[in-house]
Structure 1
């Protein structure tokens, strides 16, 4: 078994000599790479995360690309930087982008009620698409219901239709937990509804729309929206404790259909580096607009959440200046962020979602915080677990 911290790709130590618009962002030279190596190795040891892929870059400062630890705890296969990974809630950024594209063409209205497009939604005559995208709908997340959690952990390879997911929330004793636009509450129900809007208005399956209108123009050839449990190789095994027994299990082949528009997509480091900047700027790599400047401005209007330093716009976080999203589903976590003033990109991919410590922190947050303490001490990424809670474990006996 190789030592944790096995290098996948070397840094570019000469990049610091190049012109740089990235302010005081450090050159990703050998000395910085060594600090980052030690940082990631320390977090791996502290959290017990089996393996991690880390990619950092900024104009004129070079690139840092590493794979650490193991992809398979049984065989000891090392992680590699070209592995595919399930990206969980980063899927939300694609679904909301699709809605924004339809809105700028006048095919949907962000301030139209969801009931215009989807029938049977509690408060459907009041909750708007904008409130759904901004996590301010007041609709209960289906993943916060015990019946859903029991169903998922009992049969994790089951396929779910979108309406089945909505039914868990809508049939709960309290499907509406607050009036629209009065609070922030992270709810996967919101994204299932937005996915249905995209399908109804575009006439395409959501996966096809995202492929045609987002992934292909962005040249993200390694990113996909599976309609089943398909998982391209190579990939790491993913480990979770969100199980019926509460013990750690291999969730690699679990069916992600339960996440659908909120969490089913797959990508890799290469593509997520592209997506970090594309999402934050609204511009495809070839310079054409993914969404209009006005629509991007609305997307990046990030009212504060209950956590200081963390705001949430339309399917996008702003955490201490870092813009993007994290992702988590059984077995995998991801983090894809962009710091505009530094033009810096940070991507982290992990093969576990097992929370860390008494605060039950997301492992991706622990990595993001540690890395940004080294790179951008004035912009330290920190997203407490309370802000984003995708799943509700069974009650303690």
Structure 2
């Protein structure tokens, strides 16, 4: 009987990403009851310490699915209206006409028109994602900065709007998810981190997933190397970092095993109701931070290949770290991958990222992992 997973092909694909220039990466792929876990490269370029598939990792905006699920639980309980204007809950944070027209749904699917606060919190990233005139110096300046989320929200709300509320394509913005965290706090009487921990992370039985309580990643983990489009050469380690700059938008620490478990249970209707899952999978076009137009639902987005079933999940990056978790709609085939280098593409004279061998190697790994 042929195995559902080709372990040799997966081992070769993950090794090729390392050979293409990724210091280290690790992954878990599942097909029914069969599981493959693999790792290639190093967790520390100075000592040569290897990465292992059970390491904990900053998973970036994959956090957004957890936060969206928490909000939808409160929608199910009647405490939040999905199409209720955010100004009814947080009038001081989103005042005036925009508070009356931006709904909770628009925050979750990035169609609020609210700008990204990052270029204002990190001044040297002022042109991000139009990258021709950026620099990495703000990354070092804010390693241990403790940001106030309401101040970050104010930066995004007072910045020029990037679209009309409800208009498409939407524009991906962390401002939306910091507002959702404040909304959760308003209606539950506890912090978003505590609510998500109790009602999403613990409900899913995740053993190695948590919000950081300080600048460190607890437990075995990799260093996280940021290149900032070749402007940091050699790439610098940002594994020690205060994550208040993104909070419940992108600060979660997890493992590839926990991510696969979470998405498997989510798509099975065990974290939120089946009707809420239908809402999560209603997509609109959204412009990503990389400037690409993607289909985006409520904290979920699909990946589809011709003739193949859709996969649902989320990717994410932080300074130096990245992750992608995708699960087939029937929950049987899954992939979660963690990377310890980010923004490896150098820029051309127009500020556009140039191709890099890592790009094609990752595409191959994802294809083998999802479709065999």
TM, length-normalised to structure 2: 0.84
Which of 74, 95, 101 is the matching residue for 1:126? 101
* Alignment partner, residue 63 of structure 1: 35
> How far did 1:170 drift?
2.9
> How far did 1:96 drift?
0.8
> How far did 1:207 drift?
1.2
Q: How many residues align?
A: 342
Deviates more, 1:184-193 or 1:305-314: 305-314
Q: Distance in 1 between matches of 2:158 and 2:118?
A: 13
Tell me if 1:40 matches 2:40.
Answer: no
Q: Deviations over 1:285-318 (max 9, x none)?
A: xxxxx21111111111123446999421001111
Q: RMSD over aligned Cα, in angstroms?
A: 2.7
> How far did 1:148 drift?
7.6
Q: Distance in 2 between matches of 1:360 and 1:350?
A: 19
Asked if the contact 1:279/1:324 (under 8 Å) is kept, the reply is: no
Determine helix, strand or coil for the equivalent of 1:261: helix
> How far did 1:342 drift?
6.7
Note the residue ranges of structure 1 that are not aligned, 5 or more in a row: 1-13, 17-26, 284-289, 379-397
Which of 74, 80, 83 is the matching residue for 2:55? 83
Q: Distance in 1 between matches of 2:214 and 2:38?
A: 30
Asked if the contact 1:356/1:363 (under 8 Å) is kept, the reply is: no
TM, length-normalised to structure 1: 0.79
Aligned in 2, Cα 1:250/1:312: closer, same or farther, shift over 3 Å? same
Deviates more, 1:117-126 or 1:149-158: 149-158
Deviates more, 1:203-212 or 1:333-342: 333-342
> How far did 1:104 drift?
0.6
Between the two structures, name the one with larger relative contact order (CA 8 Å, sep ≥ 6).
2
Determine helix, strand or coil for the equivalent of 1:125: helix
Aligned in 2, Cα 1:35/1:356: closer, same or farther, shift over 3 Å? farther
Q: Distance in 2 between matches of 1:220 and 1:33?
A: 25
> How far did 1:262 drift?
0.7
Tell me if 1:373 matches 2:367.
Answer: yes
> How far did 1:216 drift?
1.1
Note the residue ranges of structure 2 that are not aligned, 5 or more in a row: 126-136, 305-309, 348-352
Asked if the contact 1:127/1:137 (under 8 Å) is kept, the reply is: yes
> How far did 1:276 drift?
2.1
Tell me if 1:147 matches 2:123.
Answer: yes
